[in-house]
Amino acid sequence: GQSLEQPSEVTAVEGAIVQINCTYQTSGFYGLSWYQQHDGGAPTFLSYNALDGLEETGRFSSFLSRSDSYGYLLLQELQMKDSASYFCAVEEDSSYKLIFGSGTRLLVRP
């Protein structure tokens, strides 16, 4: 079957760094994406990894290890507005169809 596991909740203070892990088990693998979703809103694309290694986009970075079926999202210089849910999502093939993880609720405190 398919499964993507993430921690359910993470709390951090403003200005800190937080890492959200994602382990996946899928029938195929084409790429791993990360999305941010605020309450009541739609997911917003953050980062994408198709190959092993680190991708950096401003304060957000994402890492992938295909051999370990593992990835993480790194958020630096946390701001209050970063409080949201974060989802990892796997594309099993080139169809752009996404399988989402369970989601991690990030709470940033002053």
Measured from the CB atom, is 45 or 77 closer to another protein? 45
Min CB(62)–another protein separation in Å: 14
Interface contacts to another protein, rule CB under 8 A: 31, 33, 35, 40-45, 48, 50, 87, 89, 95-103
Distance, CA of 5 to CA of 15 (rounded, Å): 26
Taking the least distance from each CB to another protein, the nearer of 31 and 63 is 31
Within its chain, how far is the Cα of 52 from the centroid? 15
Cβ 86 vs Cβ 99: under 8 Å: no
Nearest distance in Å: CB 15, another protein: 28
Nearer to another protein, 19 or 102 (CB): 102
Nearer to another protein, 81 or 96 (CB): 96
Strands 104-109 and 9-13 come out as parallel
Residue 104 neighbours by CB distance under 10 Å = 20
Minimum separation from the CB atom of position 59 to another protein (A): 19
Give the C-alpha separation, 24 to 87, whole Å: 12
Note whether 24 and 33 are within 8 A (CB).
no
Cβ 45 to another protein, closest distance in Å?
6
